Amino acid sequence: MSLPVLSDAEIKAITKRLKAGQPLDDQYRDRLFQQSKDAEVVYSGKESRGSVLARTMGVPFQSVKRFGDHDPAWANKLVFGENLQVLKTLLEMKQRGELRNADGTNGVRVCYIDPPFATRREFRGSRGQTAYRDRVEGAEFIEFLRKRLILIHELLADDGTLYLHLDPKKGHYMKVVLDEIFGPDRFRNEIIWWYYNKMQGNVGRFPANHDCIYVYGKTADSYFEPVFEERAEITSMIQRVWDGEKKRLVNAKGPDGKVLYIEREDKRIDDVWRLSMLQPADRTEKVDYPTQKPLSLLQLAIAASSKPGDLVLDAFAGSGTAAIAAERLGRRWIAVDCGKLAIYTTQQRLLSMTEGKGRKKKAVPPAPFDVVHAGLYDNNRLNDLSFAEFEKFALELFGCAASPSSIKDIAISGTRGGDPVHIFPFDETEAEMGIEYVQTLHERIAAQVNSVVYVIAPDSRCDPYLFENMITLDRLTYFVLRVPYSVIEALHDEEFRPIGQPFSVEEVNDALDAYGFDFMDLPEAKLTARRLKDSVRISIKEFRRGGLDPDVFAELENQGRDDLSVAMVDLAYGDNGFQLDQHRFGEDLRANDWKWDIPVDDCGDKLRLVLIDTFGNELRQTIELTKGKK
């Protein structure tokens, strides 16, 4: 069908508005653009699939700590970072063949995500104080989730499966989005998780006691293994067999023509999962983390759609239930979250896994796993890298393609947008990189280069008097990229946004886009610890978030403590490193006049505090307990 013809007056009006940078009226949508034959969600700000894949910025992984064997063929990954950027990095790993399943296939076999249902965005003023909050909903939330689903679709193995967990408020929108991304013929199931034990008051409607989990396959051959559960009692059932001529199941019959029956002790689990939700009184599984899902829920999904040794991904890890389920089922896993509390909670659950009951209960060590940072880096660890390790990290950090070559005997590590990238050889010289080095470099390679050269160096090896980030010599421009370095306007067309941390339990699952990368800047705090009769009282007097200008601190309200996201404590700190026992959000501490009373009977000889600011920077402090009050 041809499009309706526009009149000359309409064409003139459209041209005028386009030249003025003004939006067109919605009436022109059907007359200017070819419409999709399938249903789709249309909204302002919807980015094309190609643009999402091309424009999303990947960030390199920095291993912070490894638990378990120090040289495994694969270490599971607990990643702190903004999941959109992490998904892009994982996609690059897949393209390099680094994400393999048990049978050698490339990509993730099963991805389960439980994204935020209701979202809020918190904006902070220039001095760190809370300015206002705004809800992220409607089209903005759909696009937030859609971008991640596009990358997940690319990450899945050809027989991989996605489980998207939502409540009924957003499911109808995302079902259409999933049809767009995967194709309507890739829909497998709408699973209803019926948590029959949820107690509700008089809500003036039918009680809402279920969530929806949408299941999509990457291809028509997505892996699936039926899962069975025991029946309450043995049941006699008609035996069913496949009739090749009728192309359907029919009743099985014996030689005498009578219908055959079989007795079954189990039954195949269908698309309604009757699983209890976790109650506050649960002492076997419940941890102090909001929106935690039961282990049985994740074990069902992972068991049905993967085999032992396959890769499982959870991009909204939360309390880490997917990683725990994958671990117990013998799968490998990658768990991603932008909240430090989520990372520490998941780490603690992995390290404290047990099997058996009562006196027979014993610890079960997890398979080796790395705690990884992606987007917020420890500069002290960078100083310990070899040249080859720094080269790899820096190229990934600045979005360069690794392609070793040379120009007039000058080593070129890679390219960025087709232009050469040179890493300052800090392993071969004691000199610093300054204007003289760039001038010497220019004399050697100028005749072989068109317009731009990128020079990367550790900031600690740069001349402190080299203030320029762009140096123009003749017709060439040299971009000096230092590590650490946060915002480089010449390289990025989007303002960097740090990974925000929640101030209260209500903000834990807020959806918030972050972008770019940064380096840790340790917070500072003044606190006291006093031993009272039955408790240890920790009082936080001041808190200065990482990177805060000292001149700004004096103007802050509440002694800067409103920038304290969460405080965590290890009650018996020892040789095994920090183990999360309890936490308090900034909002809870503020309500208690910035005091935290911990029962003495719960404490060992040492307490280890971890204070996290609103941008994810950490301050660690050990408190040794004595018999006195100090």
CATH number at residue 556: 2.60.40
Could you tell me if 191 and 334 lie in one domain? Answer: yes
pLDDT at 24: 78
pLDDT at 171: 87
The answer to whether residues 117 and 169 touch, using CB atoms and an 8 Å cutoff, is yes
Could you tell me if 279 and 418 lie in one domain? Answer: no
Domain that holds residue 392: 382-483
pLDDT at 124: 42
pLDDT at 126: 37
Could you tell me if 280 and 370 lie in one domain? Answer: yes
User: Could you tell me if residue 340 is inside a domain?
Assistant: yes
pLDDT at 489: 62
pLDDT at 257: 86
Report the CATH number at residue 214. Answer: 3.40.50.150
User: Could you tell me if residue 339 is inside a domain?
Assistant: yes
Which residue has 């018996």 as its token pair?
A: 572
Could you tell me if 419 and 458 lie in one domain? Answer: yes
Could you tell me if 405 and 360 lie in one domain? Answer: no
pLDDT at 17: 83
pLDDT at 134: 44
Condensed to tens digits (0 to 9), the pLDDT of residues 95-145 reads 999 999 999 999 999 999 999 865 554 444 333 444 334 445 678 889 999
Could you tell me if 277 and 296 lie in one domain? Answer: yes
Could you tell me if 594 and 461 lie in one domain? Answer: no
**Strands annotated E in 228-368:** 228-238, 240-243, 248-251, 261-268, 272-274, 311-314, 332-337, 354-355, 362-363
User: Could you tell me if residue 513 is inside a domain?
Assistant: no
pLDDT at 285: 85
Question: What is the number of structural domains in the chain?
Answer: 3
User: Could you tell me if residue 57 is inside a domain?
Assistant: no
Could you tell me if 85 and 123 lie in one domain? Answer: yes
Q: Name residues of the chain where pLDDT drops below 50.
A: 1, 121-135
pLDDT at 26: 67
Could you tell me if 415 and 364 lie in one domain? Answer: no
User: Could you tell me if residue 578 is inside a domain?
Assistant: yes
Annotate 412-449 with b (16+ C-beta within 10 A) or e (fewer).
Answer: bbbbbeebbbbbbbbeeeeebbebebbeebbeebeeeb
Could you tell me if 369 and 415 lie in one domain? Answer: no
User: Could you tell me if residue 370 is inside a domain?
Assistant: yes
- Report angle CA 91, 499, 489 to the nearest 5 degrees: 80
HSE value, Cβ hemisphere, 13 Å, CA-based, for 566: 26
User: Could you tell me if residue 586 is inside a domain?
Assistant: yes
User: Could you tell me if residue 463 is inside a domain?
Assistant: yes
The answer to whether residues 301 and 110 touch, using CB atoms and an 8 Å cutoff, is yes
- Partners of 467 in beta bridges: none
CA distance 148 to 170: 16
Give the max Cα distance, the chain: 99
Write out the two tokens for 394: 């820096």
Could you tell me if 294 and 331 lie in one domain? Answer: yes
